[in-house]
Amino acid sequence: GPVAETFRVIQGAVSEEYVRTTQGVFQFELSGDDGGTWYIDLKTKGGSAGFGKPPVTADVVMSMSSADFVKMFT
């Protein structure tokens, strides 16, 4: 779905430079289609993004609809 595709693109864009300059972990609690817990880890070496809880405690947790999430990142 659109949420999974958005996270696929984000994962492909994650770089050591983003991790070094951001140093944050973002957790998204999404409702609606493709809902659930998703994350972007820009703190752990290499960074990562995907479905489920982040590998370390999130610095920011955002709750929104999956449609709003997709709009925010496109």
Considering its fold, how many domains does the chain have in total? Answer: 1
Q: What is the pLDDT of residue 23?
A: 97
Q: Give the DSSP letter string of 12-62.
A: HH--HHHHHHH-EEEEEEEESTT-EEEEEEESSTT-EEEESS-SS--SEEE
Q: Which domain, by its residues, includes 34?
A: 2-72
Q: What is the pLDDT of residue 10?
A: 96
Q: What is the pLDDT of residue 15?
A: 95
Q: What is the pLDDT of residue 25?
A: 98
Q: Whole-structure pTM over 0.75, yes or no?
A: yes
Give 10-residue mean pLDDT values along the chain (74 residues). 96 96 98 96 96 97 97 92
- Assign residue 19 the CATH number of its domain: 3.30.1050.10
